[in-house]
């Protein structure tokens, strides 16, 4: 048995994993980052549109602050978010954007003077301030009151990931690529590391660490049509679930992005609509203002995606041999803008659709995009169920997105959570009581168990084909657990997935190669993915309300009275075919922003009994503190600063809010 020791094992080399690794390494701990692919090819590279941070540099961002970003994020989440975590996030996002700039990230920058932009389909001239010259530029995005999204043309994730990866190399963070964590090693109370499979030789190794962090990204491949890459299969989620101890939070909350290109589902960024692009139907009619007069194309993603599907159901879709779609029109932005700010969109349209988006409309339809659910953590990023296990990024439920994440808040979360959780991991490793003797007998047991499972698959004479089961699962997820959900379809979906899980225990392989063997990989991953799919589908079946991206046609209201709670899924018994669900209540009396109307979407929620009382309390606090500044008022409403690592508690500077002014 090959054993590798380190202080911190980070599973995942995307933005979140790298930033956590850098943080722990800077504090003097040995770090190993594992990745399926070279870190620079992690899925973070695909992020196009940008990162939210309330810098208030551009004129349309004037007046922005942590307060506005916080409100947008909580409304976006449909009140599913942990508001303290959302506060920690918005306070740290400007620091993270500036840190990346200091590391050499080539953010697009402000040029002072007049410039023409498209707002609500009209050409408008805006004037950028001289004081903003050379500062980080920001664009409009969905569900935000201000232009807050920092960007690098439409290759933001690529630039961020290359910067973070180069920084990790600089700091001496060790990376082991083509290595897949297939099980966590634990004794039911504490996590000791992971069993890792070398994807080239097939060898199993034990990585043992004081702290283990999951940063394995999303699970888009549970669905047939997704904007996610092939490596986004949710294996990090699954190995946490398979401990039987660590819980996953809100797995039923799955985001669909309005503009996946048809038929492939490849994303064209929200930046297209942020910069002024319009959605049109079969008649060329711009339909979003009919549904959402206020935010139009820039309501939050869950709302726009539903409106698009609703419009198609009304017979307004464009028929094609790949099914129906709608149009995204960015021709009005002009060739110069597209070739400078939406270059990747242009390339995607040319390469995959054979069209020039400066001339022709883009065929789009909502596609699975983001996994709000993940390994449940507390505000330090540690699992409340399994000591020594941490998580950050899309694989985590920290939980700042609740039931719908805002565009631009995800890459922001990766680097912000990376900064914060990296510090808490370092604190954890600093504590002498966390330096534990590794239980080598247990480690051996875990490695042997995984070895036996793989060997059983290789020897199996089973009749099931892993690839076929996987496709069947993806079809069910789209059909039964998609944008519109209802009890009957969900029940049928759950039952079908249960049967698939049982069938997956009888997978047979034609190739017996122990090393590079796509069949073997598909076999063990499909078994894990089916469990994960069941957490999504079963969670959705049980949640008899609509919140954010989870929409039940049979329960169309957001029901704060019954459902202001986070779902926790556990897989206690290896032979089970359903997860065990528990619920974590969100306390209205501790909220800075009690539940209300989001400002877009339906206005038909069922109130929580405490909401009126808390609103009264808030009004009183605000009245009492009329003479105080916004920071003191916020502190009185919901203190959060002491939850942040010391060096991240400071205020953020803006043109209109100089720190020494």
Ligand X SMILES: Cc1cc2nc3c(=O)[nH]c(=O)nc-3n(C[C@H](O)[C@H](O)[C@H](O)COP(=O)(O)OP(=O)(O)OC[C@H]3O[C@@H](n4cnc5c(N)ncnc54)[C@H](O)[C@@H]3O)c2cc1C
Q: Which residues bind ligand X (CB under 6 A)?
A: 11-17, 34-37, 39, 42-44, 46-51, 156-157, 180-181, 215-218, 227-228, 231-232, 235-236, 267, 269, 369-370, 393-395, 407-412, 414
- Between CA 215 and CA 342 the distance in angstroms is 29
Task: State the CB neighbour count (10 A cutoff) for residue 90.
Answer: 29
Radius of gyration, alpha carbons of the chain: 24
207 three-state secondary structure: strand
Instruction: Provide DSSP, 212-250.
Output: EEE-----GGGSSSBSS-TT-S-HHHHHHHTTSSSPEE-
What does DSSP assign to residue 361?
Answer: P
CB of 414 to ligand X, least distance (A): 5
Long-range (24+ apart) CB contacts under 8 A made by 483-489 are 483/256, 483/305, 483/306, 483/309, 483/366, 483/549, 483/551, 484/306, 484/309, 484/551, 484/553, 485/540, 485/550, 485/551, 485/552, 485/553, 486/552, 486/553, 486/554, 487/541, 487/544, 487/552, 487/554
CB of 16 to ligand X, least distance (A): 4
Please report which helix (H) or strand (E) contains residue 73, including its range.
helix 66-76
Q: Give the closest residue to 191 by CA, choosing from 11, 48, 430.
A: 11
**Nearest residue (CB) to ligand X, 96 versus 458:** 96
CB of 401 to ligand X, least distance (A): 10
Q: Give the closest residue to 305 by CA, choosing from 297, 316, 295.
A: 297
CB of 375 to ligand X, least distance (A): 11
**Nearest residue (CB) to ligand X, 51 versus 534:** 51
CB of 37 to ligand X, least distance (A): 5
Q: Give the closest residue to 53 by CA, choosing from 140, 147, 133, 148.
A: 148
Which residues participate in catalysis according to the annotation? 257, 273
Contact status, residue 46 vs residue 37, Cβ threshold 8 Å: no
**Nearest residue (CB) to ligand X, 36 versus 541:** 36
Q: Give the closest residue to 251 by CA, choosing from 501, 568, 577.
A: 568
**Nearest residue (CB) to ligand X, 412 versus 537:** 412
414 three-state secondary structure: helix
**Nearest residue (CB) to ligand X, 97 versus 476:** 97
**Nearest residue (CB) to ligand X, 182 versus 288:** 182
**Nearest residue (CB) to ligand X, 149 versus 611:** 149
**Nearest residue (CB) to ligand X, 48 versus 65:** 48
CB of 309 to ligand X, least distance (A): 20
| Side-chain half-sphere exposure of 518, counting CA atoms within 13 A | 3
- Between CA 454 and CA 238 the distance in angstroms is 16
CB of 266 to ligand X, least distance (A): 7
**Strand-strand pairing, 565-570 and 318-320:** unpaired
CB of 254 to ligand X, least distance (A): 13
């Amino acid at each position: 048995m090959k054993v590798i020791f380190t202080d911190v094992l980070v599973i995942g080399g995307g933005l979140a994993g790298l930033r956590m690794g850098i943080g722990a390494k800077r504090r003097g701990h040995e770090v190993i980052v594992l990745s399926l692919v070279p870190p620079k090819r992690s899925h973070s590279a695909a992020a196009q549109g940008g990162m939210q941070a309330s810098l208030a540099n551009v004129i349309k961002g004037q007046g922005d602050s942590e307060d506005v970003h916080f409100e947008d994020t909580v409304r976006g989440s449909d009140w599913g978010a942990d508001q303290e975590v959302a506060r920690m996030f918005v306070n740290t996002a400007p620091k993270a954007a500036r840190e990346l700039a200091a590391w050499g990230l080539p953010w697009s920058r402000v040029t002072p003077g007049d410039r023409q932009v498209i707002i609500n389909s009209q050409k408008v001239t805006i004037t950028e301030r001289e004081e903003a010259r050379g500062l980080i530029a920001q664009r409009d995005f969905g569900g935000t009151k201000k232009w807050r999204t920092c960007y690098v043309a439409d290759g933001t994730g690529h630039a961020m990931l290359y910067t973070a990866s180069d920084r990790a190399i600089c700091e001496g963070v060790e990376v082991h690529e083509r290595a897949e964590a297939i099980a966590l090693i634990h004794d039911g109370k504490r996590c000791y590391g992971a069993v890792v499979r070398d994807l080239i030789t097939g060898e199993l190794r034990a990585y043992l660490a004081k702290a283990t962090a999951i940063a394995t990204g999303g699970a888009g491949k549970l669905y047939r049509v997704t904007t996610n890459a092939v490596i986004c299969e949710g294996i990090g989620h699954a190995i946490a679930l398979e401990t039987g101890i660590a819980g996953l939070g809100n797995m039923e909350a799955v985001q669909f992005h309005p503009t996946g290109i048809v038929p492939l589902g490849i994303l064209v960024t929200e930046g297209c609509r942020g910069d002024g692009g319009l959605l049109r139907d079969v008649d060329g009619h711009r339909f979003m203002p009919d549904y959402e007069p206020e935010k139009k194309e820039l309501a939050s993603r869950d709302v726009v995606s539903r409106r698009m599907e609703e419009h198609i159901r009304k017979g307004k879709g464009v028929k094609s041999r790949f099914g129906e779609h709608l149009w995204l029109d960015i021709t009005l932005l002009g060739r110069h803008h597209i070739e400078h700010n939406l270059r990747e969109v242009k390339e995607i349209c040319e390469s995959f659709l054979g069209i020039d988006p400066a001339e022709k409309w883009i065929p789009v339809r909502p596609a699975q995009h983001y996994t709000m659910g993940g390994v449940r953590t507390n505000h330090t990023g540690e699992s409340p169920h399994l000591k020594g296990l941490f998580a950050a990024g899309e694989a985590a439920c920290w939980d700042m997105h609740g039931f719908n994440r805002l565009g631009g808040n995800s890459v922001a979360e990766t680097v912000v959570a990376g900064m914060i959780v990296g510090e808490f991991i370092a604190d954890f490793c600093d504590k002498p009581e966390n330096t534990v003797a590794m239980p080598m007998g247990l480690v051996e047991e875990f490695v042997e168990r995984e070895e036996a499972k793989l060997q059983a698959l290789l020897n199996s004479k089973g009749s099931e084909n892993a690839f076929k089961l996987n496709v069947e699962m993806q079809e069910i997820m789209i059909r039964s657990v998609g944008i519109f959900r209802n009890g009957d379809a969900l029940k049928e979906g759950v039952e079908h997935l249960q049967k698939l899980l049982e069938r997956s225990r009888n997978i047979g392989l034609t190739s017996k190669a122990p090393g590079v063997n796509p069949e073997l990989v598909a076999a063990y991953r499909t078994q894990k993915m089916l469990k994960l799919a069941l957490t999504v589908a079963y969670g959705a079946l049980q949640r008899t309300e609509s919140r954010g991206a989870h929409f039940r046609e049979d329960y169309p209201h957001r029901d704060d009275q019954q459902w202001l709670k986070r779902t926790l899924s556990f897989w206690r018994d290896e032979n089970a075919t359903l997860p065990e669900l528990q619920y974590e209540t969100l306390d209205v009396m501790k909220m800075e922003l009690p539940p209300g109307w989001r400002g877009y979407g339906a206005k038909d929620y069922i109130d929580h009994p405490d909401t009126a009382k808390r609103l009264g309390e808030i009004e009183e606090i605000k009245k009492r503190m009329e003479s105080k500044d916004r920071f003191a008022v916020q502190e009185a409403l919901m203190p959060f600063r002491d939850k942040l690592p010391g060096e991240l508690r400071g205020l953020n500077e803006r043109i209109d809010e100089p720190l020494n002014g």
